[in-house]
Amino acid sequence: MMGDGGGVGGDPYNFSQNKKSLLGKITRLDVNNIPSEAEIDKLGLWGNYSIPKDNPYKEDPELQPEIWSLGMRNPWRCSFDSERPSYFICADVGQDVYEEVDLITKGGNYGWRLYEGPYPFNLKGSNGTLESTSLIFPVLGYNHSEVNKKEGSASITGGYVYRSKTDPCMYGRYLYADLYAGHIWAAVENPENSGNFSGSLIPFSCAADSPTDCGTVPGSTLPNLGYVYSFGEDNKKDVFILASNGVYRVVPPSRCNYACSKESVAASPRPSPTSPPGSSFASRSRRPCRILVLLFSSLLLLLLSAF
């Protein structure tokens, strides 16, 4: 994953649409098979890696061999759906207006700097002419703070499709957040394999038996997580949130007094990932687990990293 190069903003050199630049791209490399120096020189590679034979440059020779998709501004956390690995989902941080989630495909062009999310940004190409290309628009997103003053936001943090047994009511939902931790979303695709996603803000709280008191945001009942930097997933598919105030885990709903009708039926098969939440998903009494338990403080993590 490569951002567009930053600088003054707006991608003034249009790197994201430049097929010869790796900036503003999702790259795909083979690090297990190291090529010869002659092969590295022939393909103009930047290091000791080879190029997968099915990368899209085979169909589009204008592309640098490393490029899998283009038109990204600042991809911030990407993940595969562990039970549907053809789904590679990336969050992409916006410029001023829109934060987005993209379903990444081979050779896909996700629009930046022509568009910021669904909104036109700079429709002219590097040579001043109008760009004409096939673009893929976000499957999810929300307005940035300059537009969405009611909720406020900073930048998007991509997460995971939840596949753990810990919270069966969250199963199959894609979790993502804003850097400002007061906003976490769960999104569902319906119908399956359609690319049609709908997301809802979800309430969350810390369990009463959390190892450390989370505290609350001033003027709110939300736990004070600080800033949400990243999500993680362990071997049991449990989802973790890395925030400035600690590392948190999604736990069974009952630990925070939320009701999930599927939680007590331990022997039941996993719920279908295609079952969508209703339109009142975030306000229903049977809320999927939006419960976060503090595992370690950030200070402890820093201390451990010193050894």
Counting beta carbons within 10 angstroms of the beta carbon of residue 119, is it exposed (0 to 12), middle (13 to 18) or buried (19 or more)?
middle
Least confident of 57-61, 72-76, 194-198, 296-300: 296-300
Q: Is the pLDDT of residue 129 over 60?
A: no
Handedness of CA 187, 116, 241, 104 (dihedral sign): positive
What mean pLDDT is predicted for residues 113-117?
Answer: 96
Two tokens, residue 231 = 């999500």
Dihedral class, residue 111 (left if φ above 0, else alpha if ψ from -120 to 50, else beta)? left
pLDDT of res. 110 = 98
- The CATH number of whichever domain residue 145 belongs to comes to 2.120.10.30
pTM across the whole model: 0.81
Same domain for 184 and 125? no
CB atoms inside a 10 Å sphere around CB 118: 12
User: Per mean pLDDT, which range of 71-85, 124-138, 226-240 is the poorest?
Assistant: 124-138
At 204, the pLDDT band (50, 70, 90 cuts) reads confident
| In a shared domain, residues 153 and 171 | no
Q: Is the pLDDT of residue 67 over 70?
A: yes
Residues 133 and 203 in one domain: no
Domain that holds residue 248: 166-307
Are 171 and 149 found together in one domain?
no
Residues 29, 60 within the same domain: yes
Least confident of 14-18, 125-129, 162-166, 167-171: 125-129
Total domains in the chain come to 2
Q: Is 32 helix (H, G, I), strand (E, B) or coil?
A: coil
Distances (CA, A) of 255 to 71, 234, 262, 291, 293: 42, 20, 14, 8, 9
- In the prediction, which pLDDT does 307 show? 33
Same domain, 255 and 281: yes
3-state secondary structure of 60: coil
**Per-residue pLDDT at 151:** 64
Residue 224 pLDDT more than 60? yes
pLDDT digits (tens, 9 = 90+) for 265-277: 443 344 444 333 3
Q: Pick from 107, 129, 158: which residue ends a domain?
A: 158
| pLDDT (tens digit per residue) in 169-183 | 999 999 999 998 778
Same domain for 129 and 226, yes or no, is no
In the structure encoding, which two tokens stand for residue 199, read together? Answer: 């997301």
